[in-house]
Homo-oligomer: A and B are copies of this chain.
Amino acid sequence: MTDKEIKLPFPTPPIWKLLNIEVIEMFRGYGRLVMPFHKKLTQPYGIVHGGAIFSLADSAVAIAIATVVEPKTKFVTVEMKINFLKLVKEGVMEAKARVLKVGRVIPAEAEVFNNDKLVAKAIATSIILDENNRF
């Protein structure tokens, strides 16, 4: 199943095209996204740059949150912390995000896997924007 078949809760983000991020699965409070290894994502040691992995994890969080808020509700990540556990040099990265609490402030967590091993873990806080698109 690819995101061509999954109806995204928002237009495809341009950065997803840049990084080749795709939604694989989503249901209430949960999102699973993938990003294949590509040389363009790497830092000088040939490993995937932390920023690419963060982007994938943050995107998974956004999908998970989009499933628990009203349609067209806008929200943004106000902070995220990520621990990198293993270096990624090949294969596909898969992020699984889960909403920890529904409310005005929405904490969520994400785990990133590569070859079935946990390579990163993140906790994020998002907030619903007010009527002026502010937070």
Contacts and interface: CB of A to CB of B under 8 A. Distances in A.
Contact of A49 (B15, B45, B130): B15
Majority-rule SS of A interface residues: mixed
Interface in A90-105: 100-101, 103-105
**How many identical chains are in the complex?**
4
A127 B81 CA distance: 17
Contact of A44 (B13, B43, B55, B83): B13
B44 A135 contact: no
Interface of A: 10-15, 17-19, 39-45, 47, 49-52, 54-56, 58-59, 62, 74, 76-87, 100-101, 103-105, 107, 109, 118, 121-123, 125, 127, 130, 133-135
